[in-house]
Homo-oligomer: A and B are copies of this chain.
């Protein structure tokens, strides 16, 4: 992304210069440009005024106290891998980057709990947990580059949450710095507990608008004793969607159930030199785990057999990993074709085939290319709109397609965003989904926690 730095210098508000008092603040244009947006493709019109590269809780407290004293807007930022513009910042705003707070503070292998700083990467938590035979369940496709703080800000999901739930189900407690610099602890270190309101869940998914997470107590789970993997190919994506719904209807709980359509398979093959597309017009990856994983995979094969053109059971862990990698490669492969706007709708699980049919209509109507992958076991689709590198993805046909997707999801009883968040890109549809009463209440809660509205203004709600 290229921004006109000269022009934005003038837009800097004098009062953000108060941040000169912060030892970790930078006014360097390159640092500000690097912190201006995320991986959503959203381009803010100007640069933020400053970036604070926090290295400690005290750094965060000091930054928020400064912002509070001077009524300055602050944009919290982790690894910057968000897909909705939630961490984008512009003139008059100060970015509070916590990516240097990246330590794993402790792992208790008996209690199966990890305490971490927000900047630690998702994959790093899993690597550390693996040494004790444990894993951290929320695993966004971006696991290698996304941080836990951002996962919490968006209530991130991933492949394993079909069986193990999303971030909210794996975060036991948080330490949060509030808008005025006070430190709050939410949740607890026990599995259960109901003392007081669930502030923990309130902060998870709040996209940095209620406070800045500086520490998280994560629930780890035992690595399954056994894992089995199946790749299935189908004539087309509707058939794959019907097969996924058949697994749900057959009362089977896969740990992973990922779907990719034909155009996405083409893109992955081209980027990675694989040969998936030759085997079918759509792909379903199913994994089961636990003591009966082999028996449960048999049941899946039986349920989807009538829809599939071929089934391939992974012979070993390496083959299984190659199949999972194909799914993780989807977004990077599409990014080689042009600029990508990643949709994130969720629909009831038995309406997946209708959703795919609807997406084809949207592509035809708006003249866009739409590639689709889905976390099929929980009805969460990622339709990816790919446009020419010179084209905008936040206006024109791409924008129209995004709006149509939202209305498709709503028509099928679904939602605007399954796991990426609202950010700036989806703000205009939030009111329609939530309704007036809910939105008013959400704003009242925001007002109760951040009365001056300095935390990530204009995002999420």
- Which residues of A pack against B, CB within 8 Å? 110-113, 133-134, 154-155, 157, 161, 165-166, 168-169, 178, 182-186, 188-199, 201-202, 204-206, 210, 221-223, 225-226, 245, 248-249, 251-253, 288, 290-293, 295-296, 299, 346-350, 375, 378-380, 413-422, 426, 430, 433-435, 437-439, 441-442, 444-449, 460-461
Contact = CB atoms under 8 A, between A and B. Distances in A.
B433 A195 contact: yes
19 contacts: A110-B249, A154-B194, A157-B192, A184-B437, A185-B435, A188-B414, A189-B413, A190-B378, A190-B380, A192-B375, A194-B417, A195-B426, A196-B434, A197-B210, A198-B205, A221-B253, A223-B251, A290-B291, A290-B292
Given A169-B165, A190-B414, A292-B291, A439 B198 contact: no
A248 B109 CA distance: 10
Contact of A184 (B205, B226, B438, B460): B438
Contacts of A206: 197
A366 to B, nearest CB: 22
Contacts of A165: 165, 169
Contacts of A197: 202, 205-206, 210, 442, 445-446, 460-461
A390 to B, nearest CB: 31
Nearest to A153: B194
A379 B110 CA distance: 13
A430 B193 CA distance: 12
Nearest to A165: B169
A144 B41 CA distance: 54
A454 to B, nearest CB: 16
B201 A346 contact: no
A288 B442 CA distance: 41
Contacts of A441: 178, 184, 199, 448-449
A293 B293 CA distance: 11
Nearest to A166: B192
Given A201-B168, A248-B112, A195 B291 contact: no
B290 A192 contact: no
Contact of A196 (B113, B296, B442, B447): B442
Q: Indicate the member of A113, A205, A375 with the most B CB atoms within 10 Å.
A: A205
B445 A222 contact: no
A419 B134 CA distance: 27
A418 B194 contact: yes
Contacts of A288: 291
A340 B188 CA distance: 28
Top 8 nearest A-B pairs (CB, nearest first) are A291-B292, A292-B292, A222-B251, A201-B201, A444-B448, A191-B378, A193-B415, A291-B295
B192 A379 contact: yes
Given A194-B420, A195-B422, A197-B206, 9 more contacts: A157-B192, A166-B192, A188-B415, A192-B415, A195-B433, A196-B439, A197-B205, A197-B210, A290-B296
A331 B210 CA distance: 42
A155 B375 CA distance: 28
A204 B193 CA distance: 12
Interface centre among A193, A350, A430, A446 (most CB of B within 10 A): A193
A247 to B, nearest CB: 11
A349 B222 CA distance: 14
A415 B196 CA distance: 11
A419 B249 contact: no
Nearest to A245: B110
A378 B192 contact: yes
Contacts of A435: 185
